[in-house]
């Protein structure tokens, strides 16, 4: 993504994760999509959408995280479900 290569990984990952999920949502509007990825991608995305998360926020192994996107905006999210 634009100029992400000039940023540190810590700064670039939230931008890339956010843009990647918005691109997927745009390509498949109204669809439920399963994405399997590693914890830093998940944390990168959540640090971009909310100040309540950091890269040191706890994240369970194999946890589920939900993101609802409508009209290229995050409308709801659920972080770190492990039930």
- 17-66 confidence digits (pLDDT tens): 999 999 999 999 999 999 999 999 999 999 999 999 999 999 999 999 99
Strand partners, 68: 76
The C-alpha atoms of residue 57 and residue 81 are separated, in whole angstroms, by 13
- Higher pLDDT: 26 or 6? It is 26
DSSP string of 15-38?
HHHHHHHHHHHHHSTT--------
The whole-number pLDDT of residue 8 equals 76
Predicted TM-score (pTM) of this structure: 0.86
């Amino acid at each position: 993504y634009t100029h992400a290569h000039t940023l540190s990984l810590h700064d670039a990952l939230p931008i890339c994760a956010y843009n990647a999920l918005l691109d997927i949502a745009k390509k498949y509007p109204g669809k439920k999509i399963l994405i399997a990825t590693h914890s830093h991608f998940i944390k990168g995305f959540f640090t971009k959408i909310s100040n309540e998360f950091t890269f040191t926020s706890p994240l369970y192994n194999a946890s589920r995280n939900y993101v609802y996107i409508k009209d290229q905006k995050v409308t709801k999210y659920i972080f770190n479900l492990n039930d």
